[in-house]
Structures are given as structure tokens and as C-alpha cells.
Chain A
Amino acid sequence: MRRKLRIYVPFALNELKTQLSYRGAFYLFILISTFSSFISYFLWMAIYGSTDKVMLGGLTRNEMVVYIFMVYVTRSIVCISISDWVSEDVVKGTVAMNLIKPMDYRLSLISRALGRSGYQFLVPSVFIWIGLELYKVNVLGMQVTGIWNILLYFISSIMSFLIFVLFDFCVGMIAFFTNYIFGLLMVKEALLRFLTGELIPLSFFPECVQRIFDFLPFSSMVYTPVMIYLGKYNTAELGFVLARQAVWVVLLYLLGSLIWKKVTTRLVVLGG
């Protein structure tokens, strides 16, 4: 265990350092990343303004505000696209170097993702989160989120992170079969935005579609922790959604191992 930490912790720290050294451009990207949250915010305010209903999709207007910005926070700590790194390694051929080193490629990627996640939590998520709590209490007149909910939210988010990166590792494996996965990553991006509940809470989907979502890992990536944060689950449901997340972590871990074994037996690297 000690040895493992010694090997993989530097990956996380390196990523953190890299991010910290390129701050200039990063601030602009933070700005861009908030655009879609603000568009949703205004759009949802207009939507709630156009109806007499108090609840839409099981959420009140104020809860929707929390939902939109907690999705932003959750996304920036959970959705670290490691498939980008995999495709970069494959296209450049550096993946060969990773294969001959005595370490697990997937674990090194996940450690790196953890570094990125930590950084994105610091800049800017934690500020947006605090800002949201202040706004909630002072402007919307809601209660501060309880410590219990926050704790459960973080437990759930950690599992979400694992589900996401393990899933994304499998997606990244496609890079071994085709050189241009830009288009594919775009489809993935669009699909995830939709299926994880980022674009619209999953409770807006028709009943039968929601049943299907129950059997997919996507709702466990973003929707589950945010709904936990909002306190939308009772104790029994809480146990169920957390258990479901744990099951997905295990399943996707096994799937990733299987694909990795298959892929590495047929890998061809050009150049030297």
C-alpha cells in the first residue's frame, strides 16, 4: 500500500502543479465553463416564470437554482475526461512507455485525474459552492444545507468520480482502434450531458425512460450526488442509490480490466 502510494501520488501532484503553472488560460476556461450554467439559469428562470406550477419535474424554482450550480460543482470534480489523455498517448505512441514501466496504466491515469479533480475543486468550484450557499440563504431565503447532506454528497461524489473515470477509461480504449476520436469524444460529451442530468434533471424524462436510466451508470455520475445534496432522497432511497453507485464502481472496474487485457495483446505502436 505504501509502495503504491509512492508510485501513484506523484501523478496526482504533477497534474496539480501543471494546472497551477498555466493559470492565465485556465481562468478564461473557467469563465467559459460557467457560460452554460448561466444560460441554464436564465432559461430556467424564464421557464418557471411562464407557468403557475410550483414544481416542475419535482423541483421548485429555488431548488432548480441549487440544482444548476451544484451540477457545475459536481461536474468539475467528477467529470475528468481521461479518454482525452488516452487518445493523446496512443496517437503520440507514448502509451508504449507506459506499458513497459512497472505500473498500472489505468491507476496512473486515475491518479492524474484525481489531481485535476482536486484542482478544479479549489478553482473555482469551492467558490461557486460557497457563493451558492450565500445566495441561497440571503436571497432565496432557504436553509443552509445540513452537514449530513454535505457529507453524503461527498461520499457519493467520490463514487461518481470513480464511475466516471472507470467508464471513460473504457471509452478511451477505442483510441486503440481508430486514430481520430475527436468526433467520438464529442458524441460522448453530448450524450453524457444529457444522460447524467447535466442539461436537464432526469426527473423531467417520461417515466419509462427513467426506468431505463435506472439500469445505466450515467445517472450515478452527476444526478445522484446533486439530488442527495438537495435532500431529495429518504433513508431507504439513499441506501439504494449509494449501493447502486458502489455496484457500478465494481462493474466498470472489471469491464475496464477485461478490455485492457484484450487491447494490449493487439497493440501496434509506430516509431520508436
Chain B
Amino acid sequence: MKTIKRYLRLYRVLIVQFFKVIMQSKVDFLMGLFGFFFTQVTGILFLYLVFEQIPFLQGWSLEQLIFIYGFAQIPRGIDHLFTDNIWLVAWRLVINGDFDRYMLRPMNVFFQVIAEKLQPDALGELLVGTILVIHSCRKGIVVTDALHIGLFFVSILAGALIYTSIKLFFASFAFWIKKSGPFLQVAYEMADFAKYPTEMYAKGIRFLITWVIPFAFVAYLPASYFLGRGGFFGAGSSNVGVIGIECLIAGLFWCIAYSVFQKGISIYESAGN
């Protein structure tokens, strides 16, 4: 309990420092926010233009696809906001030897990595996601009983944890190969596949994004549960189990990623002179 309190206090101190930096450059902050916001908006415009031509896409309506698209942004945004510094581990900190500073302080190393930075650009993704989800709720296409709403929050947290785990896992390679940025990027960009119904992909790709780099469990599969669609476990089944599997995957991937990270720290050698 005492340690938790200590870490919470430390987090607050570190984040306050960070906010001071942001306040120095408000324009940068707004442009970054707008950048991410705008990128997502073009994705929606694309769907609009396509649905000018067709009424349904493999049984999905425009409104449903927009919900999936919006829902996918929320776990992504949460992870992006809090753990963006993991990218620097992959690209720079290990190869430069800057990782030294985390090793010297008497604090949990992972905690230090993520506490060093909040990524305000992520608010663009969260904003788009929230707007689209609220929009879909008002259209009445989302199931909004107590169970679904409760699981909604469980699902976005588990989803964010899956994102973090995948990032941490690939970033940790840097301890062995010094620079793992490109690998991390490949894995991270796979998330784009899960913004759309995954049935449309070839079998191999579908398997990959469902079970190997499980972004389907972050975006498409839980989203289809909230839309009241079933069928993941065979015809006629409800998809409530999907949320269960999502949590299981989140827990499992987190344990794997964190132990790889710990192993990496133990063999970390500083660079330079």
C-alpha cells in the first residue's frame, strides 16, 4: 500500500513536469492533436464515399462500420496517451545508452519509462473515438444494457493493455539488437487491419491478427459484441465470451511482454565511452 502511494505521488510529480513542457509550446500541442484527429476523419469520409455506392458491406451497415472504427480508436488512444515513451526505448534510448538513467534510480524501471511522458497527440484519437461511439449510441445501433456498458469499459482497458504489451514486447528486443523500432512499427501498424470486419481478409491474415498479434480482440471482435452481433463461436452464439478471451489475452500478453522486458533489463549494457 505504501509503495503504491509512493508511486502515485511520483507519477504526479513527473507528469506535472511534463505539463510544464507542453504549456511552453501550445501550438505544437494543438497541431499534433489536429493531425491525429484529421487522419481519423479521412478514414470516416472514405467509408461515407464507399457507402454512396453500396447499401451494405458483407452485411454491415455504414453506421455499424463507423462504430467499429470509432471503438478501435479508444483503446489505441489510451495506450498512446500513457505509454508512448516505449517507442523511444525501441528507437533511441537503448542504442544511445540513455537507458542508464532508469537503471540508476530506485524505482521500477517500466514505471519510469511510461511516467516520463504523456502523449497529448493521443487526445485526437480519443476525441474521434468518443464522438463516434456516442454518435452510434444515439443512433440506437449499440446494445446499451448494464452488462454491455460495464463490459465496454472492461474491454477498452483490456484492449489498451494488449496494445501496451505488444509495444513492450517488440521494444524489448532492443536490449538484444539495440534498435527494434522497425519491428515495433510492423507490429503496431498491423492494428489498421482490425479497424474493419476481419472476415474480409484471407485466412492467413485473419489468423495472424486474431491469434498472433491479436488486434482483432482490441477492435473488431469486441465492437461486434457491442453491436449485438454473435457468431464468433459458431452460428447463433453470443459473443460475450469474446470479452473474456480479450481479458485473458491481455493478461497473458502482458506477462510475456513484461518478463521479456525484465530479462532485457538484466542483460542491458550501456553504450558509449
Contacts and interface: CB of A to CB of B under 8 A. Distances in A.
* Chains A and B form a bound pair: yes
B7 interface: no
Interface in B34-79: 34-36, 38-39, 41-42, 45-46, 49-50, 52-54, 56-58
Interface stretch (B9-17, B192-200, B238-246): B192-200
B270 to A, nearest CB: 23
Interface residues of B, number: 40
Contact of B193 (A35, A53, A205): A35
A32 B192 CA distance: 11
Contacts of A49: 58
A206 B53 CA distance: 11
Contacts of B49: 200, 204-205
Contact of B35 (A39, A183, A193, A204): A183
B52 A204 contact: yes
B38 A42 contact: no
Nearest to B35: A186
A187 B39 CA distance: 7
Contacts of B271: none
Contacts of B205: 38, 42
B78 to A, nearest CB: 20
Contact of B28 (A28, A38, A178, A193): A178
A32 B185 contact: yes
Interface residues of A, number: 41
B178 to A, nearest CB: 12
B183 interface: yes
Interface in A142-182: 178-182
Nearest to B191: A35
Contacts of A43: 196, 200
A13 interface: no
A186 B39 contact: yes
A186 B41 CA distance: 13
Contacts of A53: 53-54
Contacts of B121: 183
B200 A45 contact: yes
A29 B46 CA distance: 25
Contact of A199 (B28, B46, B181, B200): B46
B189 A32 contact: yes
A35 B31 contact: no
A182 B35 contact: yes
Nearest to B25: A180
Interface string A96-124: 00000000000000000000000000000
Given A28-B185, A45-B200, A180-B28, A194 B53 contact: no
A254 to B, nearest CB: 28
Interface of B: 25, 27-28, 30-36, 38-39, 41-42, 45-46, 49-50, 52-54, 56-58, 121, 181-183, 185-186, 189-190, 192-193, 196-197, 200-202, 205
20 contacts: A28-B182, A32-B185, A36-B192, A38-B205, A39-B193, A42-B202, A43-B196, A46-B200, A47-B50, A50-B58, A53-B53, A180-B28, A181-B31, A182-B35, A183-B32, A184-B31, A187-B31, A190-B35, A190-B39, A205-B49
The 3 closest A-B pairs by CB, nearest first: A183-B31, A186-B35, A180-B28
